[in-house]
Amino acid sequence: MKTEHTIVWHYTTGDAFLGILRDGHIRASTGGQTPNEKPITWFSTEPLWEPTVYKKLMRPDGTGEQLGMSGLLAHGFQLIRIGAPAGVAPLRWTDIKEQSGIPVHEQRWMARVSKDLGGNPSRWRGAWGAVQIVGQLAVIERFDTALNAWVALPTEEAA
């Protein structure tokens, strides 16, 4: 039996969240795209953190470190997740692979990296183009390290 999710999450950091608030929408990903790829806004049904969401920290010696959830928290990043009804991001990984224009070798690489990081592409959801946040969102939460849990972000804090 297939479980349907009622909420999908867009995981991000506090600095990127400020841009989302300023713009009024979650921007579609355009990084590394070929000319035929459709811009997509990524969501996940992962309940704690989407493992493929990370930042690369450059060290003074020129080497890089990939910061996942624990690394981001250890380096003082605020973690935010934006929840929306599943209908906001109706595309599943199978749809994205078929319709996005992402080259097959890139699709395989994305799936392999996800699995290497402990993720699962079957939990990815997406929407073509930017996703407006006004009237679409179910909840905005921040990760509270003291509680080790997601907590609602008060409206005045989000503003």
Per-residue model confidence (pLDDT) at position 44: 97
∠ CA 29-35-41 to the nearest 5 degrees? Answer: 15
Per-residue model confidence (pLDDT) at position 1: 40
CA-based nearest residue to 104, from 45, 5, 36: 36
CA atoms within a 13 Å half-sphere pointing along the CA-CB vector of 26: 26
∠ CA 98-103-105 to the nearest 5 degrees? Answer: 110
- Residue ranges for the chain with pLDDT beneath 70: 1-5, 31-33, 155-159
**117: exposed, middle or buried (Cβ count in 10 Å: 0-12, 13-18, 19+):** middle
Query: Is residue 103 within 8 Å of 27, Cβ to Cβ?
Result: no
Checking DSSP bridges between strand 124-128 and strand 91-92, what pairing results, if any? antiparallel
Per-residue model confidence (pLDDT) at position 140: 93
Of all helices (H) and strands (E), which one includes residue 139? strand 139-144
Instruction: Count Cβ atoms below 10 Å from residue 86 Cβ, excluding itself.
Output: 16
Give the whole-angstrom CA distance, residue 37 versus residue 100: 5
